Amino acid sequence: MTFDPFGDFDSRGYLRNFASLKDISKVKDLEYASFQGNLSRAINALANIDFIEYKHVLAIHETLFGDVYPWAGQDRLLTAPNVNISKGGYRAMFAQPPYIRRVTDYALDKGRDPNVMREQPGHIMGSLAHAHPFLDGNGRTIMVIHSELAYRAGISIDWGQTDKTDYLMTLTKELNDPDQGHLDLYLKPFIRDAVERQRSASVLKSLKGLGETTIGEE
């Protein structure tokens, strides 16, 4: 079943992408190209922000995916206020639209504290993932935000050494069973000293499939 929160897939394609494409694999290729082309600009923008807030999460999504979607930078409270995002039948995995900002603010508040970020990078990532602010592009957006918060805390995650399947399975456990430290435990062996921002960008560019496939339910 195609995710169609706007109800106009037949006329405007998947999530109203600018190319009106219906083939989701081709839309994902557009997303990947947009991410690759705009990542350095997004990282530079974050580097110039002293205090990262919710509005900056929205702005980074717009920077990364504004070439693909007209709604880039708008959260689900604006784009699909009556649609609950779920995966695998779990309806509580992601925040409902009215709570997206509150959950994101919580994650950012934790992540801005260097001590908490160093000790609980998985909890912060899980909280950002639970917020799931956008209809698509969440995985890459929160990875960029998380990498900047880690940099400010003096650490980095060696994502190139993680296993995509293991990471996503652990993230799912974190989302379904929060506050148990599942993702903190998984990421602990991959914590390194902070690396230069553009080196981090190179690593993120090499990663495919940073987000999960989701479906929407009324």
State what percent of residues in the chain have pLDDT above 70.
Answer: 93
Number of domains in the chain: 1
Would you say residue 39 lies in a domain?
Answer: yes
The more confidently predicted of residues 213 and 151 is 151
Look at residue 1 and tell me if it is in a domain.
no
Q: What are phi and psi of 85, to 5 degrees?
A: -85, 130
Question: Which CATH number does the domain housing residue 88 bear?
Answer: 1.10.3290.10
Distances (CA, A) of 130 to 14, 56, 201: 23, 18, 23
CA dihedral 88, 92, 95, 99 (to 10 degrees): 160
Residue 90 corresponds to which tokens in the numbers above? 């779990």
- Has this prediction a pTM greater than 0.85? yes
**If you search the block for the tokens 């929407």, which residue do you land on?**
216
pLDDT score of 90: 64
Residue 116 lies in a domain: yes
Would residue 2 count as lying in a domain?
no
pLDDT 10s digits, 89-128: 666 789 999 999 999 999 999 999 999 999 999 999 999 9
The alpha helices in 66-135, defined as continuous H runs, are 76-79, 100-111, 114-119, 121-131
Q: Has residue 166 been placed in a domain?
A: yes
pLDDT at residue 164 is higher than 60: yes
Judge whether 5 lies within some domain: no
What tokens does 81 get?
């206020």
Nearest CA to 191 among 156, 140, 154?
Answer: 156
Residue 53 forms part of a structural domain: yes
Q: What is the mean pLDDT of residues 24-52?
A: 97
pLDDT of res. 218: 39
| 24 occurs within a structural domain | yes
**Whether the predicted pLDDT of 142 surpasses 60:** yes
Q: Which domain holds residue 169?
A: 11-217
At 88, the pLDDT band (50, 70, 90 cuts) reads: low
